[in-house]
């Protein structure tokens, strides 16, 4: 496969998604440290993004990356009319939001400093990049948003020819 023939937005999304997946395994997504000058205790620990509800965020980012990969490498398996770019952009956006929220909602006790580590900030950057590339890919693809409101929003039937009236029944006695 010639990479120069891949749409640059899809290539950017695949690279950003791949980096996000790799970074999700590094155990410094969120770090906690205890520095106590009085007791002489210094301790630092970290966790990967595969923890708590960040797991759902990572899985959504994996799904978005996989959807884009299928679109690039096997587009014939996608049914006609499926807005794959929209699905990828939505999954990437929600996954990114969950990862950022989880990194900033870890709680530490008294004297414990908890927050995103270096790989956490790197995941923020790569997942935001994936979301942007997926959203721009959606815009570039010409896909339309699904029309869930086929009756023009007012409860009125759509404009067009009037259907014929049903046949009349027997007269009432």
Reported as a single tens digit per residue, the pLDDT across 31-71 is 888 776 666 667 778 899 998 889 999 999 999 999 999 99
Decide if pLDDT at 145 tops 60: yes
Copy the structure tokens of residue 153. 């929003």
Contact 88, 64 (CB under 8 A): yes
Report the SS3 class of residue 136: helix
Decide if pLDDT at 159 tops 90: no
In a domain, residue 154? The reply is no
Domain that holds residue 94: 3-141
In a domain, residue 10? The reply is yes
In a domain, residue 114? The reply is yes
List pLDDT tens digits, range 9-38: 999 999 999 999 999 999 999 988 877 666
pLDDT of residue 115: 87
Give this prediction's pTM.
Answer: 0.78
Query: What pLDDT band is residue 150 in, cutting at 50, 70 and 90?
Result: low
Q: What is the 3-state secondary structure (H, E, C) of 96-128?
A: HHHHHHHHHHCCCCCCEEEEECHHHHHHHHHHH
**Distance, CA of 82 to CA of 135 (rounded, Å):** 16
Copy the structure tokens of residue 155. 């409860």
Average pLDDT over residues 123-144: 94
pLDDT of residue 156: 54
**Distance, CA of 58 to CA of 9 (rounded, Å):** 21
What number of residues does the chain have? 173
**Distance, CA of 32 to CA of 47 (rounded, Å):** 9
- Strand ranges (E), the chain: 30-36, 41-47, 112-116
Distant-in-sequence, close-in-space partners of 42: CB < 8 Å, separation ≥ 6:
33, 34, 35, 36
- For the chain, the domain total comes to 1
- Among the ranges given (93-97, 122-126, 138-142), the one the predictor scored with the smallest mean pLDDT: 138-142
Distant-in-sequence, close-in-space partners of 157: CB < 8 Å, separation ≥ 6:
151
Residue 7: give its domain's CATH number: 1.20.140
Query: What pLDDT band is residue 160 in, cutting at 50, 70 and 90?
Result: low
Mean of the per-residue pLDDT values of the chain: 86
pLDDT of residue 55: 96
In a domain, residue 146? The reply is no
Decide if pLDDT at 142 tops 70: yes
Contact 64, 72 (CB under 8 A): no
Decide if pLDDT at 136 tops 90: yes
In a domain, residue 165? The reply is no
Contact 57, 102 (CB under 8 A): yes
């Amino acid at each position: 496969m010639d990479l120069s023939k891949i749409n640059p937005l899809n290539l950017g999304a695949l690279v950003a998604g791949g980096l996000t997946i790799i970074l999700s395994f590094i155990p410094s997504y969120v770090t906690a440290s205890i520095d106590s000058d009085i007791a002489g205790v210094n301790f630092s620990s970290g966790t990967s993004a595969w923890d708590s509800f960040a797991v759902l965020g990572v899985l959504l980012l994996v799904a978005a990356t996989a959807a884009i990969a299928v679109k690039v490498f096997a587009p014939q398996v996608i049914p006609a009319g499926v807005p794959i770019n929209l699905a990828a952009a939505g999954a990437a956006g929600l996954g990114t939001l969950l990862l950022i929220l989880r990194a900033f909602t870890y709680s530490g006790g008294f004297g414990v400093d908890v927050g995103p580590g270096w790989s956490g900030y790197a995941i923020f950057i790569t997942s935001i990049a994936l979301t942007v590339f997926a959203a721009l890919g959606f815009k570039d693809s010409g896909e339309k948003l699904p029309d869930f409101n086929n009756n023009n929003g007012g409860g009125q039937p759509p404009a067009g020819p009037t259907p014929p009236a049903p046949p009349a029944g027997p007269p009432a006695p």
